[in-house]
A and B are shown apart, each in its own frame.
Chain A
Amino acid sequence: MPSLFVIQGRDQGSRFRLDDSLVTIGRGTANTVQLHDTEVSRDHVELVRRGDKFVLKDLGSSNGTYVNGGQIREHELASGDQVQLGRTLLLYTGATDDRLEDLADKINIVARNVEDDGSRIVHSMAQSEGSEIFAPPDDANASPWLARARSNLQIMYRTALAVSHTLDIDQLLSRIMDMIFEWVDADRGCIMLKDPDTEQLVPKVRRHRRGVQTDERITISKTILDYVVDRNEGVLTSNARDDDRFDAAKSILQLAVREAICVPMQGRYDVVGVIYIDTSLTPHRILQQGSANKFTHEHLKLMIAIGHQAALAVEDTSYYKAMVQAERLAAVGQTIASLSHHIKNILQGVRGGSYLIELGIKDHAKAVSDGAINVESAEKAVTTMRKGWNIVERNQERISALVMDMLTFSKEREPVPEPSNLNEIAGDVVELMKSRADDEKVEFLWQPATTMPTLMFDPEAMHRAILNIVTNAVDACLERDTRRVEVSTQYDHKERMARVRVVDTGSGIEKEDLERIFAVFVSQKGGRGTGLGLPVSQKILHEHGGRIRVESQPDHGSTFTLEFPATPPHTAAGEQPDEIRGSAAIEQAVDTGHTQAATPPS
């Protein structure tokens, strides 16, 4: 599904799915996508679907529409395009490109080259040695220019490596500053990032060279900062009085900065901040080094390159954070929406049941007040009340089951094994579901294993796991002509594996849905399902070192097999032997339909 993801601006982290053929974006509430950005026009742009593409059209906005930095009136979007509206930057992701070539058949990875051409490894090099490509040559007579170029390339290589290894902006900036101090003989330095909302530069990292007074404040000329940010140029100032570009300002004169380098952190489309370093040359040091300059044009070029590299990393990190945040919010939103929907349905049931009880009470009260109380009227009132009460009770059970599922799913817990009989546990579930199955005219078959030893497992948890599966099986049959659910148990003494098999004649599960049935809040039951039942059952089986296997054929039905390693109490002291788990893991489901095995996470 094509989408727009806000990577910068007040709505940062929001994702808008482009479901409709026409999507309008603007500040106004009537838009499909409303942006909370005062620099966005009320009706700013529209997106018109053309086939599987979207065309972006500016609707005469005040501040214009930009795609990948260039202003547009109309533009066909490609996946990865960045759309700037006011201060809001959006990332467009298109539909999955079906035309992408499937390379699986084009590239073969084989154990042995059948067309052996005699190739062999001639040289090998460790990854860490890669950076030595820029190491100074052994030749002492190599030109200084080449040596400098090599050194600069090495710096850039190391910068690229350093910035690619962290997703924490503060850590990233700190690392960059350390590296700059390693390569440039600066006394003080800082990195400032632009606040996306206020556009103001905010200091993030500060450094002083060792030996330089550390509590000294770094005072930076606003004139220089404005120049760097507005013009997107790096500057080197060796003496402000010599630089006529800043003659209108007094700040540099007052600060007495002898040498400074200030470069923009130019990202893909915007300046995200600045890097500033300076140095003070005392007369003594000038005499020592024989020059009044420490920073050169070469330093400036290098700093600009570092600034760009750092900016890209800052952008990537910000986008990544925004993406993670958006996904987190989406997950929370989905959880709330899903639970709310289910609770709403339960409440509607309670409301209906209560209303019937209320009517029954009213009927009874009226009959009493009319003096017409008799067996018939009393029976009628009681029947209405009972009907209502049954509905209320049913919904109490539903809310109780929901809370239990939520609790089971939300916390990591170790099963509490105790000697239990799987036939009794599964039989109890069957008993519990029998009346509902009868009500829904679902034939219920219960086939307990003829011999079932007492086994060590958590009976309460297993009861819940089986109940969820059996409930699903009954629900799956409701819209079928043939409605049958079979529950059976089995214990494999050789493998020490306990199994509960639940077979239904329901509508079955499509192949593409099989992969998602254990995902939380994904329900095939529409309004009736919480999307928690199967994940909870799966979690319980995983906690027991087991799994749930699913075999399903659409329009024929499904078979769910819950299997877990279990031993009788006298052999269960301590850990389960590894070979038991191993044997469970390698068993394959044999079925002509679609099969999905939910194995424990490694």
Chain B
Amino acid sequence: MKLAPRVLIVDESADSREVLSALLARHGATTIETRRPQQAVELADLHRVDLIVFDAESDRTASGSGARDLKAAASRNGTPIVILGTVRSAKKHAASGQFVSKPYHYGQLIHKIEGLLAAA
């Protein structure tokens, strides 16, 4: 893992953001947090983060455009993205990044994030 990688956390749950931030901080990563993918697109373009962790259920747009735009931004910037979602939505998101089905265990999630950051 490179020094102080930056991770963008996109999750409407304040608890999840807080836990993930605390865990990533233990691994020397800094985090940027936001609730919605729409804001995350701007942040991803602006900060050129090393990884995006996106809870797909945080996209409240009726058409799912928020998730689409964020995945497109990740692809455009060459940023790996970890998508957290229901098993049912796995097929929809699997092609865009690493998919982790909910409910997930934080230990496994951190392990996956570590792997991606190390490869980046």
Contacts and interface: CB of A to CB of B under 8 A. Distances in A.
A391 B106 CA distance: 14
Contacts of A356: 19, 22-23
Q: How large is the interface on B (under 10, 10 to 19, 20 to 34, 35 or more residues)?
A: 20 to 34
A355 B13 contact: no
B18 A347 contact: no
Residue from B15, B35, B36 having most chain A Cβ neighbours under 10 A: B15
Contacts of A366: none
Contacts of B88: none
A528 B103 contact: no
Chain B interface helix/strand/loop/mixed: helix
Contact of B16 (A352, A388, A394, A478): A352
Nearest to A390: B18
Given A391-B19, A395-B15, A528-B12, A351 B103 contact: yes
B102 interface: yes
Contacts of B35: 478-479
Interface in B27-63: 35-36, 57-58, 60
A344 B102 CA distance: 10
A557 interface: no
Contacts of A528: 12-13
Nearest to A394: B15
A349 interface: yes
A353 B13 contact: no
A581 B6 CA distance: 60
A352 B22 CA distance: 10
B26 interface: yes
Interface in A379-401: 384, 387-388, 391, 394-395
Given A356-B19, A387-B22, A478-B35, A348 B13 contact: yes
Contacts of B26: 359, 384
B19 A347 contact: no
A347 B103 CA distance: 9
B91 interface: no
A281 B119 CA distance: 98
B105 A345 contact: no
A527 B57 contact: yes
B22 to A, nearest CB: 5
Interface string A491-506: 0000000000000000
Interface string A347-376: 111011101100100000000000000000
A395 B19 CA distance: 13
B47 to A, nearest CB: 20
Nearest to B102: A348
A527 B12 contact: yes
Contact of B19 (A352, A478, A479): A352
Contacts of A388: 19, 22
Contact of B13 (A349, A359, A384, A387): A349
Interface in A521-550: 526-528
A352 B15 contact: yes
B15 A526 contact: no
Given A355-B106, A527-B57, A349 B16 contact: yes
Interface in B8-25: 12-13, 15-16, 18-20, 22-23
B107 to A, nearest CB: 7
A355 B15 CA distance: 12
Contacts of A353: 15, 19
Contacts of A391: 15, 18-19
A394 B23 CA distance: 19
Contacts of A345: 13
Given A348-B102, A351-B106, A527-B57, A479 B36 contact: yes
A355 B12 contact: no
Contacts of B12: 526-528
Contacts of A351: 103, 105-106
A528 B26 CA distance: 27
A356 B107 CA distance: 10
A526 B12 CA distance: 9
Contacts of A348: 13, 15-16, 102-103
A344 B106 contact: no
A115 B71 CA distance: 67
Nearest to A347: B103
A479 B39 CA distance: 10
Contacts of B13: 345, 348-349, 527-528
A526 B107 CA distance: 26
Contacts of B57: 526-527
A355 B107 contact: yes
Contact of A355 (B19, B36, B58, B102): B19
A347 B60 CA distance: 21
A191 to B, nearest CB: 48
Contacts of A359: 23, 26
B107 A344 contact: no
A387 B18 contact: yes
A509 to B, nearest CB: 15
B60 A526 contact: yes
Contacts of B107: 355
A541 B57 CA distance: 33
Residue from A347, A355, A384, A394 having most chain B Cβ neighbours under 10 A: A355
A384 B60 CA distance: 32
Contacts of A355: 19, 23, 105-107
23 contacts: A345-B13, A349-B16, A352-B18, A352-B20, A352-B106, A353-B19, A355-B19, A355-B23, A355-B105, A355-B107, A356-B19, A356-B22, A359-B26, A384-B26, A387-B18, A387-B22, A388-B19, A388-B22, A394-B15, A478-B35, A526-B58, A526-B60, A527-B58
Given A344-B102, A349-B15, 8 more contacts: A349-B13, A351-B106, A352-B16, A355-B23, A355-B105, A359-B23, A384-B26, A526-B57
Nearest 8 pairs of A and B residues by beta carbon:
A352-B19, A349-B15, A355-B106, A391-B15, A526-B60, A387-B22, A348-B103, A352-B15
